[in-house]
Structure 1
Amino acid sequence: MGPDIRTQSLTKPVTVAEYLFTRIHQLGIRSIHGLPGDFNLIALDYIPKTGLKWVGSVNELNAAYAADGYARCLGIGALITTFGVGELSALNGVAGAYSEHVPVIHIVGCPSTVSQRNGMLLHHTLGNGDFNVFSKMSSEVAVDVARLNKPSEIADQIDHALHECWVRSRPVYIMLPTDMVTKKVEGARLADLIDLNEAPNDPEREDYVVDVVLKYLHAAKSPVILVDACAIRHRVVEEVRALVAKTKIPAFVTPMGKGAVDETSPEYGGVYAGSGSQDAVRERVESADLVLSVGALKSDFNTAGFSYHTSQLNSIDFHSTHCTVRYSEYPGVTMRGVLRKVAERVDLKKLTRVESPAVKNEVKKNYEDSKTITQAWFWPRVGEYLQEGDIVVTETGTSNFGIWETRFPSGVTGVTQVFWGSIGWSVGATQGAALAAKDLGTTKRTVLFVGDGSFQLSCQEVSTMIKHGLDVTIFLIYNEGFTIERWIHGMEAEYNDIAKWKYTEVPEVFGPSPKQVKKFIIKTKEELEKLLKDKQFNAAKGLQFVELWMEKEDAPRALKLTAEMSAKHNVRLED
């Protein structure tokens, strides 16, 4: 066979793998999660050649969780698995990223194009000759599926997929056949970065929407701003904070939006989640005659069982794909440009403001004269322990609801998975978040709050934390089982119980040096106070593992309320 004419026509030929990983590096990613498998091994050889680091997780599900956590803190993440068995193990984690608008690049090493054309009976297949069956599954949780089968199209496919991943802030799926890894594509393209800017709104339509928003804002007597998850995911936090800073309008967050507003700001009014809110928060938001809602994702747990008591007639909703003013929708007019112009053009002389509720860490108010560590006391106490710039990861269940009662210092990044709610997600996500902080060159502390039941699902990822020398503090709430499930249904049911592990011994299984891991068993308020005031503990170097004892049936106030509503929804019959 003669020389490949297509390769000869390239001005700067590079392999497909080099092109793909260089593009990923250009996005700011420095570490790639995943596991090796025979269909991705050749591609993995190119990772260090392009300035990237291979993480090497313990299983594909944890790798997907970690890529999710990495993306939430760095902006975007990447994951590599092998065909079939590997990618399906990761699919739950990728689906969570999709549902919560997290940009994750999922690369799957797959059999060669020749094997696919011939329908060969290969391992990791279903034996039916269909090599696209798994990509079809993933297409439901990806905004773009790129099957890299034709060298002449591959560079365009990669660039398009990565653009979609960033701009739409959701996962993409890239299927890389073994015989395409070393094929050559045009490397000269790499000199020009992928344009990651959103398409601008039509100026005339945008200005019209801004005028309508300002009309209602200037007329309002008690406006508030409510910031939700998609404000963070679609990167308009800067615009939101600029609007709050200029207008001084009371600003609230939902559970999924926690961290989007500076909680030390006098305008910050707390967490609004319908009936699950503190009384002062609920009264202030629900009495507002105008709610500027940014990036709303009104799921059951994010709204405490769909318990919002606000009217669409008094709402203006800003989204990544459209804006809605009362009952009028403006498709294609996206929130970034509108928020910027509203902040620029608002007439402060026409604004009417009321004060926000005061938000404090109510430690003394929730103190009980007993040695027992209670949920009501613990979470405000956490607010006093946290430091500026911390990354705070909370697990589905107790921690996700408890953190509502914690007032963050300035610059804290909240990492939660309220909507998808995959138990065990937080351990992998913590590893990814801590690695992102390290890759960014920061000295941020990464702090995880996780229940004992959740930890048992994904504890192996502690091994990866140790492997990469990450600075992580884990507070494991030892309360003998699945607390959130108990409160929804089956307080004494056997299926909500778990085996009693010696949790502080778990890290030793993974072989760290004594300097890498510090472990503590804390059973009383006095012991916890001493620990939280310890300078060395607060320095948070290496892995710190705290086994924190709480009562089996104790739960945060918001969890109890939401669980009750969830239980009612589970048994509700159609009228």
Structure 2
Amino acid sequence: MAKTVPVAKYLFQRLRELNCHSVHGVPGDFFLRALDHIRPAGLNWIGNANELCAGYAADGYARAGHSIAARQFGSGPKVGALFTTYGVGELSAINAVAGSYAESIPVVHLVGTPSQKTWQASSAARPVHHTLGDGRMDVYTEMAERITCAQTKFHKYRRVEDAVQAYDETLQECVSRSKPVYVSIPVDMLEAPVPLELLAKPLQLTAKGETGSVEDDLARNIAERIRTARAPLLIVDGLSYPYDLLAEVNALADMIPTACFGSAMGAVDSGAKHWLGTLSGPTEYFDSADVVLIAGPMLSDTNTAAWTAIPPTEDRVLFNLASVEMAGIVHQVPGKTVLQRLLRELSSNLPTAVPLPARQPIKNLSVHTEITQDVFWSTMSSLLKPDDTVLLANGTPLIGGRDTEFPLRTQVVASSIWCSIGQMLPAAQGISLAKRDLGLPGRTILFEGDGSFQVTCQALSDIIRCKLDVTIFIVNNAGYTYERWLNGMQAEYNDVPAWRYTEVAKVFGAPSDYPVLAVTVRTMTELVNLLAQESIHDGKGLKIVDVVMDAEDVPEKAKAGLRRAGEALRTLM
């Protein structure tokens, strides 16, 4: 008799093949039987407080594989994964999955569905729970098609062998395109037997795209443009992380002037020979640049100072995952390959050195009694170490973090297009878990606003349940300060309830054998004293620092842009 393996175990073992050792989610009736196969497949089940947190955590888990540390010290996860139930579960997670699509994060969303018979016989007369009551069973999968790059719907296949082969192809698309995918499995197929020989065939993960003379010609053309330019400029953008361009952009930063947009903070070593810093808008050098390379372009409004920092088409070269655009012409070749060949071209004949603008030193204002945004973010530079993963939540952390100096090999997670409130706390859970699962070095440090924290605070219970190592600085400024500057500085709708943040670990049941540090700081003296203690630097257990700031305070350099954004908002009303 031929050896077989249940479908559910097949699903999980393929994830393990992609270095995903944990699956996030919330148990649901349509896939409970699948969870019996998690441990036998060598994976861990992370039962989250809700599906939205599970989606954000799976996103964070996948991002851990995009750090330099993951590539240098070990094999990081190629995907994150979550399992939810049909309808109510998958819709609770859809916000997170859509964010993964927007920011090119490879996440596998598994969904347990009603049986094959139900798919065939469903009607408005006999509606099934978790449906809309009108007989439409495919409505949720149709939604998923808009926010995933590939889908496998097991109920569409008569033979289970064909279904699992389609699943393999979907996983390959997830990795090669660095986008989320959707896989739905009826409850009566979870334990259907699959020939073991199918599982013995490894997934095909070779990169797609042309190789050869096209890349060489492009690289020579770009190198010549750089050598003849008066002021060449490399801008590193947020998709450099998932597109695996970090080694190349760091090498280029030692050859030509280099800056980054906010979503790419940490991607380039701040000690690079030609490092200019993080762009908050056009600069004198930016305006004078006559050829601009953009690696991993995201180019969203929040990332480019409302598009004012995007160079003209004729002056730029865009390096994407599977294409390079030069002077408005798109070439279907891998951006990483062209960058590698460009480095080879430039190494043999380096461009003429370009005088760089003087970098402004970070001011030490620790003598101030109150903690301000401008002082806080520059002070946090002293906390960071190589191989740390730093998460900057949307709002003032995303803005203020641009004044922080990031050490070598620091990974920064900063959303600049999806910008979903509450994303970063559960993402920190996923990142810390991936670091532990795969032995990746460095701490997980989250800078979170009080408003964001309150949206997904349940993720803290997931961190505690798994006894993960996470350091959290909560910017406690009594509400949505970013929004205050857009509209309603004193408005009640921009306030959030006053929580006792140093007590939340106790509320969520932190056990006595799990180290917890919880402290409130209100003055620079208290903050500096805290940073002088070894306990805040060791990265062990859970650390919560409640940083009290003024409700209206934002970084000084952000005020003009926020005023403009507020004015633009009012013109649209």
TM-score by length of structure 1 reads 0.93
Deviation of the 1:466 alpha carbon: 0.7
What is the distance in 2 between the residues matched to 1:93 and 1:469?
Answer: 23
| Deviation for aligned residue 1:39 | 0.5
Report the Cα distance in structure 2 between the residues aligned to 1:386 and 1:530, rounded to whole angstroms. 16
Q: Aligned to 1:55, what secondary structure does the other structure show?
A: strand
1:541 aligns with 2:548: no
| Equivalent-residue separation in structure 2 for 1:429 and 1:292 (angstroms) | 30
* Corresponding residue for residue 345 of structure 1: 345
2:367/2:525 contact within 8 Å kept: no
Letter in 2 for 1:209: L
Whether the 8 Å CA contact 1:69–1:431 is kept in 2: the answer is: yes
Q: Which piece of structure 1 moves more, 48-57 or 152-161?
A: 152-161
Q: CA deviation at 1:88?
A: 0.3
1:361–1:384 Cα contact (<8 Å) kept: no
**Who is 2:136 aligned against?**
130
| Corresponding position of 2:292 | 291
Dislocated runs of 4+, deviation >3 Å: 242-245, 347-350, 355-361, 571-574
SS of 2:253's equivalent in the other structure is helix
Matched, 1:268 2:275: yes
Q: Find the aligned partners of 1:532 and 1:298 in 2 and give their Cα distance.
A: 36
Could you list the per-position Cα deviations for residues 255-303 of structure 1 after superposition, in whole angstroms to 9, with x for gaps in the alignment? 111121112223221012324xxxxxx2222222211111111111101
SS of the aligned residue for 1:444 comes to coil
CA contact (8 A) 1:221 1:353 kept: no
Task: Measure, in 2, the Cα distance between the counterparts of 1:186 and 1:295.
Answer: 41
Structure-2 change in CA distance of 1:519 and 1:341 (3 Å): same
Q: Given residue 320 of structure 1, which amino acid in structure 2 is its aligned partner?
A: L
Which residue is equivalent to 1:227? 236
The CA deviation string for residues 88-145 of structure 1, in whole angstroms up to 9 with x for no partner, is 0000011111111111100000101111101152111112222111011111100011
Residue 87 of structure 2 corresponds to residue 84 of structure 1: yes
User: 1:334-371: per-residue Cα shift (whole Å, max 9, x none)?
Assistant: 3011111111122553512224456576132xx27531
Cα distance change of structure 1 residues 95 and 271 upon mapping to structure 2, 3 Å threshold: same
Q: Tell me if 1:300 matches 2:301.
A: yes
Conserved 8 A contact 1:206-1:333: yes
List runs of 5+ in structure 1 lacking aligned partners.
1-7, 276-281
> Are 1:331 and 2:331 an aligned pair?
yes
**Alignment check: 8 A CA contact 1:270 1:357 kept:** no
> Do the aligned partners of 1:286 and 1:309 also contact (CA within 8 Å) in 2?
no
- Would the aligned equivalents of 1:116 and 1:129 in 2 still touch at CA under 8 Å? no
Pairing partner for 2:44 from 48, 53, 57 = 53
C-alpha distance in 2, partners of 1:568/1:292?
A: 32
SS at match of 2:546: strand
Aligned to 1:450: 448
Matched with 2:436 is 438
Residue equivalent to 1:3: none
State whether structure 2 residue 29 is matched by structure 1 residue 28: no
CA deviations 1:496-532 (Å, max 9, x no partner) are 0111111111111111134531110101000000101
Structure 1 counterpart of 2:33, one-letter code: I
> What is residue 161 of structure 1 aligned with on the other side?
170
Label 1:232 to 1:355 Cα distance change in 2 as closer, same or farther (>3 A). farther
The answer to whether the Cα contact below 8 Å between 1:163 and 1:196 also exists between their aligned partners in 2 is: yes
- Relative to structure 1, the CA distance from residue 166 to residue 561 in structure 2 (aligned partners, 3 Å threshold; closer, same or farther) is farther
**Contact 2:248–2:336 under 8 Å retained in 1:** yes
| AA at the equivalent of 1:219 | T
Between the aligned partners of 2:340 and 2:181, the Cα distance in structure 1 is 29
Question: Across the two proteins, how many residue pairs are aligned to each other?
Answer: 554
Counterpart code for 1:57: N
AA of the residue aligned to 2:321: S
Give the whole-Å Cα distance in 2 for the aligned partners of 1:174 and 1:572. 43
2:205 to 193, 196, 209: 196
The one of 6, 10, 31 aligned to 1:15: 6
1: CA distance between counterparts of 2:567 and 2:99?
25
Partner Cα distance (2:273, 2:248) in 1: 18
**Residues 350 and 507 of structure 1: CA distance in aligned 2, closer, same or farther (over 3 Å):** closer
Q: Mean Cα displacement is larger for which, 31-40 or 216-225?
A: 216-225
Partner SS, residue 40 of structure 2? helix
Q: Matched residues in 1 for 2:511 and 2:350: separation?
A: 63
Q: Secondary structure at the match of 1:301?
A: coil
Write the distance in 2 (CA, Å) between the matches of 1:25 and 1:569: 48
User: Secondary structure, in 3 states, of the residue corresponding to 2:303?
Assistant: helix
Cα distance in 2, alignment partners of residues 286 and 40 from structure 1: 56
Instruction: Identify if the C-alpha distance between structure 1 residues 501 and 347 changes in structure 2 by more than 3 Å, giving closer, same or farther.
Output: closer
Compared CA separation, residues 357 and 112, structure 1 to 2 (3 A): farther
* Matched residue, 2:74: none
Counterpart-to-counterpart distance in 1, 2:356 and 2:546: 37
TM norm structure 2 = 0.93
Equivalent-residue separation in structure 2 for 1:565 and 1:102 (angstroms):
31
Corresponding residue for 2:549? 550
1:238 to 243, 247, 259: 247
For each residue in 1:404-435, what CA deviation from the matched residue of structure 2 results, as whole angstroms up to 9, or x when unmatched? 00110111110122210111111111111111
In the other structure, the counterpart of 2:99 is 96
Decide whether the 8 Å contact of 1:220 with 1:352 is kept in 2.
no
Q: Is the 8 A contact 2:145 2:151 kept in 1?
A: yes
Paired with 1:463 and 1:545, the residues of 2 have a C-alpha distance of: 13
The answer to whether residue 307 in structure 2 is matched with residue 316 in structure 1 is: no
Alignment partner of 1:108: what SS?
Answer: strand
Q: Does residue 269 of structure 2 align to residue 259 of structure 1? A: no
Cα distance in 1 between the residues matched to 2:211 and 2:569: 44
Partner of residue 473 from structure 2, selected from 472, 475, 492: 475
Q: Does structure 2 retain, via aligned residues, the 8 Å contact 1:222–1:352?
A: no
Q: Which residues of structure 2 form unaligned runs of 5+? A: 66-77
Distance 1:53 1:533, change over 3 A: same
Moved more, 437-446 or 293-302: 437-446
- Residues 244 and 362 of structure 1: CA distance in aligned 2, closer, same or farther (over 3 Å): closer
The one-letter amino acid paired with 1:268 is W
Q: Distance in 2 between matches of 1:461 and 1:262?
A: 31
Matched with 2:72 is: none
| TM-fit CA distance, 1:562 | 3.5
Which of 144, 147, 171 lines up with 1:141 in the alignment?
Answer: 147
Contact 1:425 1:458 (C-alpha < 8 Å) held by counterparts: yes
Tell me the residue number matched to 2:55: 64
1:416-469 deviation line (CA, Å, top 9, x unaligned): 222101111111111111111111213421111111111111111111111111
Spell out the pairing of 1:285-434 with structure 2 (5 A cutoff).
Answer: 285-308=286-309, 310-327=311-328, 329-346=329-346, 348-349=348-349, 351-357=351-357, 362-364=362-364, 367=365, 369-434=367-432
Shift of 1:558: 4.6
Residue aligning to 2:506: 508
1:484-523 correspondence to structure 2 within 5 Å: 484-514=482-512, 515-523=514-522
After alignment, is 148-157 or 344-353 more displaced? Answer: 344-353
Determine the C-alpha separation between the residues in 1 that align with 2:22 and 2:198.
23
Inter-partner Cα distance in structure 1 for 2:384 and 2:293: 29
Match of 1:180 among 165, 184, 189: 189
**Cα separation, partners in 2 of 1:349 and 1:209, compared to 1, 3 Å:** closer
Q: What SS does the aligned partner of 1:511 have?
A: coil
In 1, distance between residues paired with 2:358 and 2:59?
Answer: 33
What is the distance in 1 between the residues matched to 2:113 and 2:98? 20
- Could you report, residue by residue, the CA deviation over 1:164-218 in whole angstroms, capped at 9, with x for unpaired residues? 1111111100001111111122321333321212113242332332232122122
SS in 2 for 1:303: coil
RMSD over aligned Cα atoms: 1.8
**Distance in structure 1 (CA, Å) of the matches to 2:363 and 2:381:** 9
| Match in the other structure for 2:113 | 110
